[in-house]
């Protein structure tokens, strides 16, 4: 039983080594899990699966941890790390049954679009980590981004669109509860991964504009 503060926060001593999971138990992963409303409810209802949330904001990670402790949830952990890096380097190959991405930051301004999660790099890493036949569930309030994400998957022959899961109110995320309360529309879609040629992932590179700048004279 995990019940001390921080017990549900996954500590990674060496971020160059892949994470290890119990391969006898299905693994589900949520990207940008926030305070964990969805994933902790799902973990509580599915004690035979393991759940990993990935979230970069420390305050939200701590709230996720608190929810697990108060709820007596033993099968969920949260990792405070960048999602693309985690998918690219740390998750087991074809070891994840379901990935959830709910209300990812839509980066609506044109000049910020390169920050969006969905694109060829994420789809490559996603396919590599999903079990063949594993699913990705996606939801957003942002109609334009919804169209972009659907186009990304439609252009990638390694995925086929399937019906999204039914999510009753207790499986709404924090942002979703807010958006639905404001009467905003929520767009949902899901895809299943298909067998395909299993190439190694090319190393992630940092674009020149994102390289740390040299400070003159130092
Ligand atoms: C708009 S919020 C949605 C949170 C939650 N999914 C919900 O629906 O309530 C997006 C979340 O994703 C996290 N996030 C955004 N980009 C991330 C990244 N690259 N790696 C890890 N977390 C990320 C943010 O910190 C934030 O908590």
**Annotated catalytic sites, by residue?**
105
Between 25-34, 182-191, 200-209, the lowest mean confidence (pLDDT) is in: 200-209
Residue 159 has a pLDDT of: 98
Q: Domain coordinates of the chain in residue numbers?
A: 27-210
Question: What is the rounded average pLDDT of the residues 170-196?
Answer: 98
Measured in Å, residue 149 CA sits from the centre of ligand 1 at 16
The span from the CA of 59 to the CA of 129, in Å, is 27
The band of 217, judged by pLDDT with boundaries at 50, 70 and 90, is: low
Predicted structure pTM score: 0.95
> Quick one: which H or E segment has residue 101?
strand 96-102
Which is the closest atom of ligand 1 to the Cα of 101? 6
> Domain 27-210, CATH 3.40.50.150 — does that match?
yes
Q: Quote the pLDDT of residue 3.
A: 81
* pLDDT tens for each residue of 23-75: 999 999 999 999 999 999 999 999 999 999 999 999 999 999 999 999 999 99
The best mutation among 9, 10, 29, 34 to test binding of ligand 1, ranked by most ligand atoms within 8 Å of the C-beta, falls on: 34
pLDDT at 216: 55
Mutate to test the pocket of ligand 1, among 51, 54, 105 (most ligand atoms within 8 A of CB): 105
Atom of ligand 1 nearest to the CA of 105: 1
Name 53's bridge partners: 30, 78
Cβ < 6 Å from ligand 1: which residues?
A: 32-34, 54-57, 60, 82-83, 102-105, 173-176
- Give the alpha-carbon dihedral of 193, 194, 197, 200, to 10 degrees: 10
- Region 176-198: mean pLDDT is 98
pLDDT category at 205 given cuts 50, 70, 90 is: confident
Distances (CA, A) of 64 to 4, 40, 117, 120, 152: 13, 8, 22, 30, 30
């Amino acid at each position: 039983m995990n019940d001390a503060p921080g017990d549900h926060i996954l500590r990674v001593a060496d971020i160059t080594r892949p994470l290890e999971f119990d391969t006898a138990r299905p693994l589900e992963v949520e990207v940008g899990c926030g305070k964990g409303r969805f994933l902790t409810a799902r973990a509580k209802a599915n004690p035979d699966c393991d759940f990993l949330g990935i979230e970069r904001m420390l305050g939200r990670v701590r709230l996720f941890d608190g929810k697990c402790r108060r709820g007596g949830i033993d099968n969920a952990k949260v990792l405070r790390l960048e999602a693309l890096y985690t998918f690219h380097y740390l998750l087991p190959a074809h070891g994840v049954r379901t990935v959830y991405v709910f209300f990812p930051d839509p980066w609506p301004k044109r000049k910020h679009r390169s920050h969006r999660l969905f694109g060829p790099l994420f789809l490559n890493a996603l396919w590599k980590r999903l079990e063949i036949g594993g699913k990705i569930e996606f939801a957003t309030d942002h109609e334009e981004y919804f169209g972009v994400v659907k186009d990304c998957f439609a252009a990638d022959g390694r995925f086929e669109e399937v019906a999204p899961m039914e999510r009753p109110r207790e499986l709404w995320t924090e942002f979703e509860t807010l958006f639905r309360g404001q009467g905003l529309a929520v767009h949902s879609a899901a895809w299943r991964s298909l067998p395909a040629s299993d190439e190694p992932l090319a190393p992630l590179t940092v674009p020149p504009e994102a390289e740390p700048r040299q400070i003159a004279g130092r």
